[in-house]
Structure 1
Amino acid sequence: MIEFKDIVTPVDCEVTVETTLRDALEIFKKKKWNLLPVTDAEQNLQGVFTRSGLYQMVLDGGPLDAPIQPYIKKQARSIRIDTPYREIEQIVKTSKVGTGVVLDEQNKVIGLLTKTDMVGALLKSANTLKDQLETILQHSNIGVLMTDGGMQVVYANEAFAKISGRSIDSIMSRALDEIFPGLLNEGNTPHHYEKFKSILHISSYETVNHEEGKILLFQDISEFEKMAEELETVKKLKLTIETTLENAYDGILMTDEKNMITMVSPPLLELFNLVKTEVLYKPVDQVLPQLKLGNVFSSEMAEVSDFHEMKGIRYIVHRIPIKKDGKVIGAIGKVMFRQLNEVSELFKRLQKAENKASFYHQQLQKSESARFTWDHILSKDSYMEKLKKSAAKAAKGRSTVLVRGESGTGKELFAHAIHNSSARSDGKFVVVNCAAIPEDLLESEFFGYEEGAFTGAKQRGKIGKFDLANGGTLFLDEIGDMSLSLQAKLLRVLQEREFYRVGGNVRVKVDVRIIAATNRNLEEMVKQGEFREDLYYRLNVISLNIPPLRNRVQDVEYLITGLMRELNSMLGTSITGISSQAMTALLRYGWPGNVRELRNVLERAMTFAEHGKIQAEDLPDYLISQLSRPVTEQISLAEDAELGAIKKALSQTNGNKAKAARLLGISRSGLYEKIKKYQLSV
């Protein structure tokens, strides 16, 4: 853009009212100006001395030494230097004066502006713009065709020649309708011109002869069509990849060059219990650091991880770099956990490791050691947590512990955990199931026998369970099934800490801690004479009453999660969850077989499950029937069972609420609330 100051002619001479005709003539001759600005000593404009004034002074016969003052025009046209350029253009167009005086911001004379200067500047600017426009048009991808008022071509650029397939020389100075018949009939609205595969824009302009010329712009869309085709191909490819991911059997994950997750498959989300919206476009090292997918950006090599485990499911990660021009631009993580054919070598190594582990596990079992700790007893029930704390305290001492509860509630787990958290944890943990061993062999199992003690006895005799457990713990399971005669001998061992082997006469001293367990009502058995009262009090030093699963419904879902993790590891399955319908059936069931029954049902369902999740049809029929039973009926049945259990406990304890609460595995205040609920009179 031209600036005003660039077209002003500076005034570098001083003309005042005292200047003589001779001096004025010299300046006019030298500068060739049309007027001289007349100023005072401070450069303030006083008027102008024009060529016509000069001529008049000469004609009047004025001497050369005469001052020019009488011929100065007082009314002089002036323009400030800060006047906008567009106003200058308008002034030049309308003014009848050929030259104007230019003033600075303080209204001091600084120069002259002539129409010649203005025209020259505009011509220079126009030429510059013309050169710039031609450069732009020559290098533009838009084809340009221009006609004059007679519709003859006056301009065409290389882009149009390429689009039309005609050389510029064959187009110039020819009638447009002759070269491209009907082109001007296309209308002025931008539209698709199929012949040149372009978008055509037609506009008009005014020529120097005030005629109407045409400018035609052709925007080539062949490149756009090609890009659209490529984009469509990319969209189809993306859809194919997404469909593959959605139906992939194993877990698949993709990242970009910044290691941000761009795609993820549902099986992977299920395995790691994630939600797609919380994973996409997040750093993979932040969301799934265990995959270590960032390794391929540094190594630039595909690699396979060792075996890992999630929810009891073993998996391996195949890390694959995505390369372009030798540079890693992303990564693919393939999490294989449902079939491992591609990693048979690792699988063989695992098999060998498992065989060794199984062998050592069998040897460990033979060595009579406790396998469970408090962490294996899964519960969120407040009473169960309190019971575990009480049992952990009892474990620190030497007193006999009696664990009571229905079959399948986990009495043996408590016994194992008590041993492992006691001072005898380094000693052996010996289990005797009093209901599984025939009565005539139970005594020899307990105390062992000497050589030749009875027919069929081993030649060197045999040591008993008490001998094996010396210095450790003896767990007597189902002690309510022990005969009265053996109860008497067991009582002597508990009191005297010594015994005689069968067929022997040497006293054997032992240091054994007893943990007993039963699902029977020992108090009732004492009344009926089926269990020795003195042994009952000897065993019932510390009593732990494990509540049935139906009394801690909130534990069912928590146990399902833990048991599924354990069973996945044991069965080699890859079950990631359970359907809502199947979960409803499990939660509505009363579980008379307690945790043992729950574990068996889950083992069956996980064996039959075919879709990665347990469905309702994978459950036993008696459990599926829970879905069709009204909830009110289920509640009624549960209440009837609860009421019956409370009445039985109160009856067994002769109305003693504290003892009844212990038998039921609930708090005393909880028992009072239930007595009030069922309006029992005690």
Structure 2
Amino acid sequence: MKFASYNEWLEFIKDGHIPEIRRPILESWKHSRLAGLSPHMFPQKLSQNPVKEPSPYLTRARQELESLLRSLDATRRIAGLLCGTSGEILAIFGTDKNIINVLDSIGIRENVLLSEDSAGSNAVALTINHKCPAVCHGAEHYLEKLHPLTTAAAPLYNPDGSLEGYLALIGIMPDTDCLTLRALTVMVVQLLDRDMRMQRSQVIHNHLKQQISGIFNDDQKATLLISRSGFIRQVNPAALKLFDASETFLDEKNFDSTAQCTPSLKEIAKSAIPCFNQPMEIRLNKRRLAVTFDRIPMFSEKDEFLGSIIFFKGKTTTPHTESVTYARFTFSDIIGNSAPLVRAKELAMKTAETSVSAFIFGPSGTGKEMFAQSIHNASERKDQPFIAINCAAIPREIAESELFGYASGAFTGAKKGGNIGKLEAANKGTVFLDEIGDMPLELQAKLLRMLEERTISRVGSQKEIPVNIRIIAATNRDVAELVETGKFREDLYYRLHVTSIELPKLTDCRDDIPELVEHFITYYNEIMGKKVNGIMPEIMERFKLYTWPGNIRELKNTIEFAVMLNSGEEMIAWKDLPGDLRTILLYRDLNVDNTATSDPLSQERINLQSTEKMLYEKALKLSDYNLSKAAVYLNVGRSTLYRKLKKFGINPR
């Protein structure tokens, strides 16, 4: 991070010269000048608001900040500020009285306004303007009296998302590192935010448990208490017996490794609508149980949905059978009109008109299976099976028998008469091989043979069974690199790579976010019986700036959680968001561009990429599409060649 120098500040003050400094600082300098502030004045404008007692939240914030200051090295000359919503200083404190005196001498005292139109550029003013943590270092302060300071500030939001004020740390240069000060400020507000949310969650949890005392004494009927988030809060002995679990069953991670439920407990938990005699399948290691359940929702006195009691009935062991699935998504279900998404959709629609194999690339959560299902449903195979196989989820030791099936007596415990595999079950339809980069090499060889000969043989049998399958593969890994390192067969890669579809990250389709949010709210309203009409505008603005590492899936899960948590209000509010995401959106600087000027070489970079693409295309033609020769012509390694071809969307044939 480059900070503005005194000379840059001086040139701006004297003749308005525009320096190449951080954009927020430059904008603040301009606003300060327009406000008519003298750069040589003291910050002295007093707040017109009557002095009032700090809220319990601000009092708690002060306690956290004072605790931090006491724990710091005595040599660190740092003071803390607590400011109101307009930027007025409510309290100044610190362990070093000297810095308190220094601040007082330059006008930093209680009831002074630190807003931009009163005190020019400073961390509190920047935080007010941009609604996120900020720093201001030395000569970046518009007022010269503040140049000896480094300031860092962050907003303080209560659990409902309402602004309570601002918290700031001030250090004396050169003793204080600017970024360290900012990190300390953010740490305090995040700790405070997490602490307050945990207190709120505990109140809800205690209220829920009070309502159901006595119900769990019935040892005959398996009963669970689950929160609205899907966490198990209480369990009776009959439920432990049903799930073949101990008290560690209450630990969600342990539960997920013990049993898999369809529908999942989290899916059951999110609805506040009672239901009775609903079917459920419970998978416990090698056993599958068929049960039914009743769901009784629980509410607080304020009619806030807290969670549900689940009663289980019946218990029959079901044999392992292969279920054929059918695709439910079509291209009309793919939401968004951004250019990268439209390109991917158009290519997928053209692919659906043929029977060729396809490879879908894209980060996790971008909708690879949705695209695969849409291709299937737009093809001639739409009335035939669609089977999705997660190659990373199948245990290595049973992967071959899962895909290809097995003959009677193929191994100890094999079912009499054998078992059909997923590829055979998909005959005349489509198989979606997700996470194909994790498929074992020995299985890759057998898959390649199936693609070339259009036949399969079950484990333990020599009989060739004809199959007519379309393969759509997908991965979020760099398959070219896997090929280069010998972890993926090159011949299989090109056998599948007839059509390549690249799905964009959500950050490349930011304009689609409002439409996606609206779609997901409508969807979950129907499932949960809610009437949420939208999302607060300030949250939507932060959504557009957030990086969404989990892409569309993360956004979908966020809206699902928010609709579930919404207590009847018209709009999704801050309190409805998942805690970790809420903290990021409230307290992290999400602005991508903090520089004062745009990239001066942007056009040159575009031209360079275009030239590079032409170079790679020419090398392929000269080598007659022999990749080894093309790599030699270009003087690059094979892995680099693969990456570039993928980047430029060049089909190596």
Instruction: Report the TM-score when normalising by structure 1.
Output: 0.41
Question: Whose Rg is larger?
Answer: 1
Structure number with the bigger relative contact order (C-alpha 8 A, sep ≥ 6) is 2
